Amino acid sequence: MSGGPRDDVELIGGIEKREIVLVEPDPAWPARFERERERIVGALGPTAVRVDHVGSTSVPGLAAKPIVDIDVSVPDVEDEDAYLPALLAAGYELRVREPGHRLVRTPERDVHVHVCATGSDWERSHLLFRDRLRHDAADRDAYAALKRELAERDWPSMNDYADAKGGLIAEITARAEAWAASTGWSP
């Protein structure tokens, strides 16, 4: 795995080394999501077509880094003027700019807001992966076990930790796609 970002990814502030700490599921996570959802909708209004709780904190029973991940779907993610100034004014900080995705976060780094386009692969993949983990205990348990194993290591950056989960995420995603096709799942 590479120690740095891809050429098409801009990390505002550069690479960050942060300790990976997993905690047991916190019943306060859904309420934190709701507060942030209200903040985002208050800032963006109808530009926020969807606001979804994603990531490990959105999966009941799953240990996670204590960071609430939120997907915000907007009509055109590349049109930053339509949403970014409002999110910055609401107190978020821009961290990542890449094709099809922006990441803003709280100064405390405990909420990550992923901005993507409505109907995009980014939106669909996050929602499908979340719903698969909510639905399938074996995939949820395998993902939890890998996260615990990886959290024991020292990582040069959070991106390297995320990259190390890629193989299992791909396997779960393949099962999720088959599950989606057989059940009629849609985002």
Provide the phi-psi class of 157: left if phi over 0, else alpha when psi is between -120 and 50, else beta: beta
- In 83-175, the DSSP E strands lie at 93-98, 101-105, 111-117
Give a yes or no: residue 8 inside a domain: no
Q: Which whole number is the average pLDDT over 159-178?
A: 93
Q: Yes or no: say if 176 and 132 are a contact pair by the CB < 8 Å rule.
A: yes
Q: Is 149 domain-assigned?
A: yes
Q: Which domain holds residue 47?
A: 17-183
Residue 12 domain-assigned (yes or no): no
Q: Does the residue 1 lie in any domain? A: no
Give me the number of domains the chain comprises. Answer: 1
**Average pLDDT score, the chain:** 93
Q: What is the CATH number of the domain that holds 43?
A: 3.30.460.10
Which of 15-19, 76-80, 123-127 has the lowest average pLDDT? 15-19
- The per-residue pLDDT for 6 is 58
